[in-house]
Structure 1
């Protein structure tokens, strides 16, 4: 796949109000994007879709490393992050790309120094003994990174990532794409 050029494009970033999403917006604007919109995927179709007279574009949805695994410390948050991957992969199919010219990608950051992490214990379910302690302890077992580390990987993901792809940024290392297994490979034998 040829590299995708990001200059003079419109980017839609969900979750761009704080933390990693905000860093995405700042970084993209610094690298030549005309605009960064914090709305929803359907607005991307409305304003970027070739089907409606736009030029196509890229939507980056902010997942989490928890989009790809279970996590007892915060099951509701984890479930919402699983949703992000499912939604993005569903919009990231050939049908939508061919019709609209809009690519969909998911960035799944690992533990990143943001208020969400530093205040994580406050978000734990209240009716379960020691769940806040488990949450904080489990998060502490992952390699941490700065929001800027995630944002730098965003450019790689946008320029190299195929439609519907899922990428991970963790521990300040280079981003990498993850391949979700085919359903038949998950079948218990």
Structure 2
């Protein structure tokens, strides 16, 4: 990933605009979005983009890191909400929206990590899992979801919904509603039978 954020106001503004326009372009076009178009949308020259982000992967990792941090922060904020099921539902919806918009980026980062010693995707996944598990535990303790609800299963189901419905947000929403309903009622058979 690119180094720390620039200090000069104009360089910081350029950096922020590049990340914002990359976020939009990657959500629209995936990992192959034109870097020159991202620079144009940000109102900077392509050279400015490459000074901040020497490689496409640097830019992808920065976008994913920032979006993941936003999702983690949202989850932590929701932990203090009054209604545990509403908090869990809001976060699951945000996680699904994130997965739908950036699933190609995450796959690219994970693929690139095979050739590197560091793997930022693992750290992001751990942070997302921790906050999702905390929200689910809170809902379970409040009696809003079944006792057999498991965080790993729930997060895998959200990822599966995103994978199965990349271009069908209405169906993704329907499947997320089914998941939430299943969480309320418990869906796992008794293993002793």
Both structures adopt the same fold (TM-score exceeding 0.5): no
Q: TM-score w.r.t. structure 2 length?
A: 0.30
**Whose strand fraction is larger, Structure 1's or Structure 2's?**
1
Query: Quick check: which has more Rg, 1 or 2?
Result: 2
Q: Kindly indicate whether structure 1 or structure 2 has the higher relative contact order, using CA contacts under 8 Å at least 6 residues apart.
A: 1
**Whose helix fraction is larger, Structure 1's or Structure 2's?**
2
